[in-house]
Amino acid sequence: MSTAAAFPHYTPPPPAGGSMFPDDEPLDLQVPRAPKAEATNNGGGGALVLSTQCEFPALGRSASRDKFSVLVHARAPADVARAPLDLVTVLDVSGSMEGKKLELLKQAMCFVIDQLGRAERLSVVTFTGYAVRWIRLSRMTDAGKASAKLAVLSLVPEWAGTNIGEGLRVGAEDTFLGTYLPNGAKRYMDLVPPAFANSASRPGPIHTFGFGAKHDAAALHTIAEATGGTFSFVESHAAIQDSFAQCIGGLLSVAVQQARIAVTCLHRGVRVQEVKSGSYGNSVGADGRAASIDVGELYDDEERRFMVLLYVPRARSTEEVTRLLKVSCTYRDAATGNEAHVAAPAAVIQRPLELTYMPPPSMEVERERVRLAATEGIAAARAAADGGQHSGAAWILESKLKAVEQSAPGAAGDPALEALKEELRDLSLSVGDRRKYEQTGRARLLAGMSSHAQQRASAMGMDVQSTSKARALRRWRKWWRCRVRAGRSVAMATTSRQTAHRGWLSRSR
């Protein structure tokens, strides 16, 4: 049996009358728009901060190098104004949810409702063998919250099958997009509403959650992966509310939208050979002189790291410095809708006549390289375990753990890699036999893959970096303090729906 819930999240405001449901409450667009300001890259003024880090600071003039690594680092501004949120929840109420599971789900949903401000809108869709839209897309005024809670608390399980595809179809219609989704889809991709599969035009990502041991983790992971969302595995039913809190915390703090990084080679002989960007789409020009990465959204103070691999040619006899590349980023401020552009200083290396001593690689670059190798190992272990090679899957994870331990940052006790070591140890214990893998191992591996591909902490506590979850927790503590001081939902701090965004919470049990 498979049970699910989903949150989609929307970028530009929809055209008037575009909803498939004419009874949706209209957007409240009568809010002042902040004046357009030039963005800077000095860490202040609410701008995204962009930087680069070369693998080595120098190469000898007579040396050339394949796959020379340059790490591109982007960090969203902190403590900036927010745009209100449109949230469409797609909840499984099939028979497998009866009892305590459904009660905990109701409790978690009431918690989510309490976090939404008056400018936010919520819709509730449920599914069993069919889907029902319980709440139109409604503003979360006091009356709207009361109505939403009444609907949620009245939900009862029904043994009528489980059709997540129908739930997503109805939810997609509530995001201003009519889509056809076949019943009884034979492939997991058939469950993805077509409009959500196109990264250039999708209304927003679908974040999925799997509860316990009996959900279809592969289906939920595919839905999240195809729509730019994350899949989280919630092993303990008691952790449902905490899982929702982490997800909603991010959705309520979107600071940057439609971010796109451009990479341009400066030296005439430098070429981009590859870009490692996880689930974020990238393209490299045919001549290797330029590349781009579609980053999309960033939460408040959130970071992304991308590895650009270059061919670096020999230097001329008089060349003391090689300017490798320049990196810039265009994005949209989520609260004001204003477009901004930032650029990092050029990535350069020294070119001494002779390099008598090869310095160690940058710890920051090495940390990312180790993480990427471990991520590839997790995917390989999943393929091995799915093929019944459970001892082989465990061996892959154990070998990646050993590589992390033997790396320079791993041996130095780097906090991010300490978290990665713990993750690999846990995963290796989850794939050793078929029973354990079928119960929790597959879901754990898929959640880890999703977390690393998105560079975003998952709800199961297996984080890409140890700082990711800490930052999310700090964000929630700050919101709760603001909520106590203001006596209202923290989302009221948002100022504009100029670039309103949607979130889906998809979950399965």
How does DSSP assign 261-302, residue by residue?
A: EEEEE-STT-EEEEEE-TTS-EEE-TTSSEEEEEEEEEETT-
Q: Which two tokens stand for residue 269?
A: 């002989």
Whether 316 is covered by a domain: the verdict is: yes
> Which H/E stretch holds residue 340?
strand 339-343
One-character DSSP codes across 8-57: E---SPPPTT-SS-TTSPPP---SPPPPP----SSS-TT--EEEEEES-S
- Shared domain for 90 and 216, answered yes or no, is yes
Q: Is the pLDDT of residue 194 over 80?
A: no
Q: How far apart are CA 229 and CA 207, in angstroms?
A: 5
- Shared domain for 301 and 209, answered yes or no, is no
Which residues on adjacent β-strands are paired with residue 210? Answer: 233, 508
19-33, 255-269, 284-298: range with lowest mean pLDDT: 19-33
- Shared domain for 300 and 385, answered yes or no, is no
- Shared domain for 95 and 180, answered yes or no, is yes
Q: How far apart are CA 12 and CA 25, in angstroms?
A: 17
**In a 10 Å sphere around its CB, with 0-12 CB exposed, 13-18 middle and 19+ buried, how is residue 428 labelled?**
buried
Q: How far apart are CA 375 and CA 278, in angstroms?
A: 9
Q: Which phi-psi region, left, alpha or beta, contains residue 88 (left: φ > 0; alpha: ψ -120 to 50)?
A: beta
Among the three residues 303, 328, 350, which one is the final residue of a domain in this structure? 350
Evaluate the CA torsion angle 94, 97, 102, 108 in order and state its sign: negative
Unique residue bearing structure tokens 């991308």? 306
Domains of the chain: total: 3
- Shared domain for 326 and 199, answered yes or no, is no
Q: How far apart are CA 102 and CA 105, in angstroms?
A: 5
Structural domain span for residue 246: 7-26+81-252+467-508
Find the CATH number of the domain harbouring 152. Answer: 3.40.50.410
Q: Which phi-psi region, left, alpha or beta, contains residue 208 (left: φ > 0; alpha: ψ -120 to 50)?
A: beta
**Which of 183, 170, 144 has its CA nearest to residue 506?**
170
Q: How far apart are CA 474 and CA 466, in angstroms?
A: 13
- pLDDT bin (cut points 50, 70, 90) of residue 393 is very high
- Whole-model pTM above 0.85? no
E strands along 289-336, which residues? 290-299, 303-312, 321-333
Q: Is the pLDDT of residue 463 over 60?
A: no
Encode pLDDT of 322-366 as tens digits: 999 999 999 999 888 899 999 999 999 999 998 888 888 999 999
Encode pLDDT of 399-436 as tens digits: 999 999 999 999 999 999 999 999 999 999 999 999 99
Mean pLDDT of 113-127: 92
Query: Measured in whole angstroms, how far is the alpha carbon of residue 18 from the centre of its chain?
Result: 27
Q: Which two tokens stand for residue 251?
A: 């959705």
- Shared domain for 118 and 168, answered yes or no, is yes
Q: What contacts 24+ positions apart, CB below 8 Å, involve 34-43?
A: 34/81, 34/333, 34/335, 34/336, 34/338, 34/495, 34/496, 36/336, 36/338, 37/338, 39/340, 39/341, 39/342, 40/342, 41/342, 41/343, 41/344
Query: Measured in whole angstroms, how far is the alpha carbon of residue 440 from the centre of its chain?
Result: 22
Q: How far apart are CA 382 and CA 8, in angstroms?
A: 27
Encode pLDDT of 363-381 as tens digits: 999 999 999 999 999 999 9
Whether 477 is covered by a domain: the verdict is: yes
- Shared domain for 343 and 286, answered yes or no, is yes
Asked if 291 contacts 325 with a C-beta cutoff of 8 angstroms, the reply is no
- Shared domain for 17 and 150, answered yes or no, is yes
